[in-house]
């Protein structure tokens, strides 16, 4: 057998092994993605709804505090002007 031919066969065998490893990795990644889509999307949607509710509460409280602060500042300034 020609030594060059033998080297070429070894190289092809290594390449085929690498391709097979890549295909296995892609298959595992696809399975993981399917699992996430099937099991976790519902939980993520529920968590986002809860978070949105909490954020709207925080937003309402911060607006109330800011409004109260502005009103008290305006009242203080008027009080100083009128004295």
Q: Which domain holds residue 26?
A: 1-39
How many residues does the structure list for the chain?
Answer: 83
Q: Is residue 45 part of a domain?
A: no
Mark whether 34 and 56 lie in a shared domain: no
Mark whether 31 and 64 lie in a shared domain: no
Burial profile 24-56: b = 16 or more Cβ within 10 angstroms, e = fewer? eeeeeeeeeeeeeeeeeeeeeeeeeeeeeeeee
Per-residue pLDDT for 55 more than 80? yes
Mark whether 33 and 57 lie in a shared domain: no
The total of structural domains in the chain comes to 2
pLDDT band at 1, cuts 50/70/90? low
What percent of the chain lies above the pLDDT cut of 70? 95
pTM: 0.43
Per-residue pLDDT for 43 more than 80? no
Q: Give the mean model confidence (pLDDT) for residues 65-72.
A: 93
Ramachandran angles phi, psi of 2, nearest 5°:
-70, 130
Q: Is residue 44 part of a domain?
A: no
Better-scored residue on pLDDT, 35 or 65: 65
């Amino acid at each position: 057998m020609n030594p060059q031919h033998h080297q070429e066969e070894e190289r092809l065998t290594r390449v085929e092994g690498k391709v097979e490893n890549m295909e296995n990795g892609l298959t595992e990644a696809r399975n993981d993605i399917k699992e996430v889509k099937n099991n976790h999307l519902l939980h993520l949607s529920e968590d986002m709804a809860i978070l949105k509710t909490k954020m709207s509460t925080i937003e309402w409280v911060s607006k109330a505090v800011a409004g109260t602060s502005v009103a008290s500042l305006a009242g203080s300034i008027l009080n100083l002007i009128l004295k």
